[in-house]
Amino acid sequence: MKIMDLRQWNDGSPENRKAWVKEWMGFENIEERLNSSIEALEKIEAKEWKEQQLKMYQEIIRLIQEIKNDRNSLAHSIL
């Protein structure tokens, strides 16, 4: 699964990034796939590229958690 390349991610605003992550959350096992991608990156020798990719994947995972927390907070406030 190719989410997007690093250049697209870096060119996106924080709002666009969060919107993209909301869309990706509909993909089956997105967090597991990202973690697998992170594990694969650890084996790559191109250090600078690897660090940038890793940073992007970690930010995506952080945004997924943020969106989940926002949804939980909203659900609790409605109750």
Per-residue pLDDT of 12-45, as tens digits, reads: 888 888 888 888 888 778 888 888 888 888 887 8
Residue ranges of domains in the chain:
30-79
DSSP string, the chain: -----HHHHHHS-HHHHHHHHHHHTTSTTHHHHHHHHHHHHTT---HHHHHHHHHHHHHHHHHHHHHHHHHHHHHHHH-
**Whether residue 54 has pLDDT greater than 70:** yes
pTM for this entry = 0.57
Percent of the chain with pLDDT over 70: 92
State residue 66's pLDDT score.
Answer: 92
